[in-house]
Chain A
Amino acid sequence: MVIPDYYEFGSRTHIMAGYDALEQIPGLLSSMDAQNPMVITDQGVSRAGLVDILLQALDSRITIKTIQDDVPADSDLITVHTLAGQYRKYGCNAIIALGGGSVMDTAKGVNILVSASSDNLLAFSGANALTHALNPLVAVPTTAGTGSEVTRVAVISDPDNLRKLLFTSGFLMPDAAVLDPRMTLTLPAPVTAATAMDALSHAVEACLCLGRNPLSTAHAHEAIALISQHLLPVILQPDHKPGRLALATGAALAGMAFSNSMVGMVHTLGHSVGSVCHAPHGTCMAVLLPYGMAYNLHKTQPLLADLLLPMAGADVYARTPPADRAQKAIDWVNRMNQRLHQVTAGAHAVCLREMKSQDGKSLVPGHLLPKIAHTALGDGSIFYNPEDLDYDDCLMVLEAAFNGAPLDLSRVKKG
C-alpha cells in the first residue's frame, strides 16, 4: 500500500453489534440524556414485524413519543419536513431510525431541521454546510447494504426539481449504529443478495478510487472478507444469526470505508440507472461492479490483485500467479453474481437487461442507455474514479452491462 502524501479519515459512530444489541438502546439514550425519541421507519419494516421486535427489546424503559412509518422508498423533502413537524409536536429529543438507506437518510434530514430549528432543508445541502452537532440519532439498519448507519452522507430527493440533493458533513454520522441480526433475519433472499452486493461495491470502490488511504482500505478489506464468506451461506440458510451479524458488520465496515474514500464509476453509472429507470440501487451495483473493476484494471492492477485475498481466501490467492490475481478478482465477482442468480431462482439479475420490476416488467429498456450515460456525466462520484470516463466510455460500459457481455478491454482508452 502506497501511503498518500495526505489523507483524511473520520468515523465517530459508536457501533453496538450483537444478538442483544437492541436491548442496549435505552441505556445508550439515557447516557445522552435523550429519553424521548421518535421512531422513523417505513411500512415494509413495520409489516415485517420489526417495530414490534424493537419495542419488545426496549421494554418500556424509555418513552417513545411517536412512531412514524410513512417514509417512501425514495426519501424526499416533503417527508423530511412533515416528520420534523411531528418531532416538534411530540416534544422529542432524539431519533431512532429503523430501516434501510431511505429511512436513515430521511432521519438525517429530519435531524438537521430539528437541531438547527430550521424549516428549510435546502439551506444545508451540499458539502460541509453544517456547522453544529445535531441531536442524538441512533440508526438501526434493517438491511446489510447502504452503510448509511455510519456514513457522513444523506441523499434526499427534491421531487419539484427532479433532482437528488446530496448532504455531506461529519455531523451526519449517527451517534450510534445498532447492528442486531434480528433486524435482517426475515429479509428476502434477492434483497439480501442485492444489498450485500451494494456493500461489496462500497468496499471494492473504496480500495480502488482516488480517495483511498490505509485506514479506508483496512476497513474495506475486512468488509470484503466478511461479505464473501457469509453471503451465500446466509442466502441458503436465511435465519443463520451469526451469518446475518457478519453481513451487518461487513456493510458497516464498507460504509466507514467509502464514507472516507468516496466511490467511483460503479456508483456513477449505478446512480444514473437508478434515477433514469427507478431501478433498485443494490441490483445496479451487483451488475455494474465487475465492469467498474475491469474498466479500471490498467490503473489499479496491484490494488485489484490484493482484493483476491479477502474475496477468495488464502488458498486461492496463494495458488494464483501474482499477474493473474487482478483478473481473478473480477472473475470472482462475476461468479458470485451467477451463484446468487442460481440460488435466488433467477431473481438476482446478472445484466441490466434482466432487471425486472415486481410485476415482471423490464426495468432498464435499451433505448434509455444514452440518457443514462448522459446523466452519469453529472454525478459527482465520477471525480473519484481512477480512470476518466467520457460519454462514449459510459455508453460502452452500459451496453456491455446491458447484455451481460464481458467488457472489451481493447476499447478502454488509456491516456
Chain B
Amino acid sequence: MTDFMEISPGRHHRKRLYLSCMLWFFGRAVQAAARVDDGVKSEFAAMPDNFTFCLGAFPSGPYMVVGKDSLGRVRHLGSSIADRTIHLHMMFKNPALLFRVFSFQESTPVANARNRLYVHGDVPQACAVVRIMDMVQVFLLPKFLAKRAVKRYPAWPLKRRTLVRAQVYVRAFAGL
C-alpha cells in the first residue's frame, strides 16, 4: 500500500502492466470456463443475452470486460470500456486496491466488506459474477493462493480438478 503511494513511475508502470496482464488472462479464462465447465456455464445461463460486465479500477482502469453476445455465447471483450453499454460495473476505488486483490493480499469478499469497490448494477447478477470469479480463480490458481482469494476452497470432483482445469488453461492461452 505505502510503496504504491510513492511517486515512482517505474514501479507504478510495472504494477499497472501486471494488473493489465492478469485481467487480460483472467478474462480469457472466464470465456474458456464458460465453454467447458458446467458450474460457470450454469451461472452464465441465468444471465440475459447481450449482458456485459466490467471489472476494473477507477478512474482509468485497467479494465476487464466480459459479456454474452446475442447468441448467448460468453466472450472476453478486451480491456476497453469505451463505446460499450456495460450493465454491471465492479470497480475498485483505485488501482492500488485492485492490486491488493490480484496480488492475493486481500480476498474479494473482504475488499467488498471494506468498502473498497463500487458495484453498480443488478445485485443478483453481481452475486453470480462473484461466484463465477471464485470458480475461475480456483481453476487458475494453485490451492495455497486460491485459498486466500475465496472464502472456502471447494471440494471439486477429480475430473473438474484435472481435465476441466487443463481445458480452461489451454483455451485461455489459445483464446478459444
Contacts and interface: CB of A to CB of B under 8 A. Distances in A.
Interface of A: 4-8, 126-128, 166, 209-211, 261-262, 377-380, 382-384, 386-388, 413-415
B120 A127 contact: yes
B127 A415 contact: no
8 contacts: A126-B121, A209-B113, A211-B113, A211-B115, A377-B128, A378-B124, A383-B127, A384-B113
Interface string B135-160: 00000000000010011111100000
B176 interface: no
Contacts of B118: 127-128
Nearest to A414: B152
A159 B112 CA distance: 29
Nearest to A382: B127
A387 B123 contact: no
Given A127-B118, A127-B120, A415 B110 contact: no
Contacts of A388: 134, 150-152
A383 B152 contact: no
Nearest to B126: A380
B166 interface: no
B123 to A, nearest CB: 4
B130 A413 contact: no
Contacts of B124: 377-379
A383 B115 CA distance: 12
| Majority secondary structure of chain A interface residues (helix, strand, loop or mixed) | loop
Interface string B98-140: 0000000010011011111011110111111011001000000
Contact of A380 (B110, B123, B131, B150): B123
A377 to B, nearest CB: 6
Nearest to A261: B113
A210 B110 contact: yes
Given A127-B118, A127-B120, A383 B113 contact: yes
A267 to B, nearest CB: 13
Contact of A383 (B112, B116, B120, B147): B112
A387 B113 CA distance: 13
A126 B120 contact: yes
B154 A415 contact: yes
Interface of B: 106, 109-110, 112-116, 118-121, 123-128, 130-131, 134, 147, 150-155
Contacts of B120: 126-127
B127 A380 contact: yes
Contact of B130 (A127, A128, A210, A383): A383
B153 A415 contact: yes
Nearest to B119: A127
A208 B140 CA distance: 30
A384 B115 contact: no
B130 A7 contact: no
Contact of A8 (B114, B127, B134, B154): B114
B113 A415 contact: no
A14 B119 CA distance: 29
B109 A384 contact: yes
Contacts of A209: 113
A211 B114 contact: yes
A414 B116 CA distance: 26
B114 A4 contact: yes
Nearest to A4: B114
Nearest to A415: B152
Nearest to A268: B127
A383 B109 contact: yes
Nearest to A129: B120
A415 B112 contact: no
Contacts of B128: 377-378
Closest 10 CB pairs of A and B: A378-B124, A415-B152, A210-B113, A211-B113, A415-B153, A388-B152, A388-B151, A380-B123, A8-B115, A378-B127
A166 B127 CA distance: 15
A378 B123 contact: yes
Contacts of B119: 126-127
B151 A379 contact: no
Nearest to B117: A127
Contacts of A261: 113
Contacts of A380: 123, 126-127
A410 to B, nearest CB: 14
A126 B121 CA distance: 7
Contacts of A379: 123-124, 127
A413 B118 CA distance: 30
A414 B152 CA distance: 7
Contacts of A382: 127
Given A382-B127, A383-B109, A384-B113, 6 more contacts: A5-B114, A7-B114, A127-B120, A210-B110, A377-B127, A415-B150
Contacts of B114: 4-8, 211
A210 B152 contact: no
Of the candidates A261, A262, A383, the one having the most CB atoms from chain B within 10 angstroms of its own CB is A383
Contacts of A377: 124, 127-128, 131
